[in-house]
Amino acid sequence: FGYITNFGKAHLEGFGGVQGVIKGKSELYTHIFETGGLIFYNADDPIQLEKLSQYPSKFGYSTTDKADLQIKLTEANPFVSLKTDGVTINTHLIGSYNFPNCCASILMGHYFKVPTLAIKKGIEDFIPADNRSQLIEKNGHKIILDAYNANPSSMEVALQYFKNLQAEHKTIFLGDMFELGDDAEIEHQKIASLAKSMKFDKVFLVGEHFNKTAIDLPKYSSFDELANHLKSNQLAASTLLIKGSRGMALERILDYL
């Protein structure tokens, strides 16, 4: 059995670009099919549909009725809620970008004949940890801590979600994205420009790559520089988004709030 969550702009340095990522990941499909296995898939993803068009042994989900299982997103502000098989599932996961992750687990549970109510309980009991989509409150701040890792694709969807979130006094901390190779400069510039265009109350860019961007935003070449700023400039109570690659370890920001 095999499943690919998505084809995003991750590990571009090793794969030589987005097409390399698609080519490399798709080897899973070839292997699964040739060994007589089954491929789980997201029928709403055009890349997955294209790559799987030649493989008959597959089992998928969709928000419409074009796949084996239909799952509807009903809410994502801040937590994802969804409905399938007449059952509503209320998760502790923030952001619509976590909806496909929920769908994948439901799809696999359904295939292996786990009762829908048992699937509901399993997902609803899950509490995010380890710097992945955590919702934390500290000293008047509401914090979305998603600092386990980052790439241009996940940064963009996180910013779009945070822009649409119903909250006041929004502040974002974005840390460098690693393993982008020759694309590092342009991808950091794109994310910095996107963040500025969204007109958040405050934006902090952290890391050598973000520090080189041509953007009129507060930039810090290292975490230590940011920490020194936060020590002498107390941040007013805000709703915060903290996101960056693992090497940036931006969860350390919590120590300065």
- Structural domains in the chain? 2-123 (3.40.1190.10), 134-256 (3.90.190.20)
Q: How far apart are CA 143 and CA 255, in angstroms?
A: 13
Question: Looking at residues 236-257, what average pLDDT do you find?
Answer: 97
If one compares 17 and 118, the residue with the highest pLDDT of the two is 118
pLDDT band at 77 (very low <50, low <70, confident <90, very high): confident
pLDDT band at 17 (very low <50, low <70, confident <90, very high): confident
Q: What are phi and psi of 156, to 5 degrees?
A: -65, -45
**Torsion over CA: 208, 210, 100, 64 (sign):** negative
Q: How far apart are CA 173 and CA 223, in angstroms?
A: 11
pLDDT for position 15:
74
Question: Looking at residues 12-27, what average pLDDT do you find?
Answer: 84
Q: How far apart are CA 142 and CA 125, in angstroms?
A: 22
Question: Could you report the per-residue pLDDT of 3-14, keeping only the tens digit for each?
Answer: 999 887 777 777
Residues contacting 154, CB < 8 A, separation 6+: 8, 10, 97, 243
Q: How far apart are CA 75 and CA 83, in angstroms?
A: 10
Question: Looking at residues 24-37, what average pLDDT do you find?
Answer: 94
Residues contacting 3, CB < 8 A, separation 6+: 39, 40, 41, 104, 108
Instruction: Using a cut of 0.75, tell me whether the model's pTM lies above it.
Output: yes
* Number of neighbouring beta carbons within 10 Å of residue 205: 26
pLDDT for position 8:
76
Quote the tokens at residue 137. Answer: 């409150």
The whole-angstrom distance between residue 70's C-alpha and the CA centroid of its chain comes to: 22
The answer, yes or no, to whether residue 30 has pLDDT greater than 90, is yes
Question: Could you report the per-residue pLDDT of 174-222, keeping only the tens digit for each?
Answer: 999 999 988 999 999 999 999 999 999 999 999 999 999 999 999 999 9
pLDDT band at 16 (very low <50, low <70, confident <90, very high): confident
Q: How far apart are CA 241 and CA 229, in angstroms?
A: 18
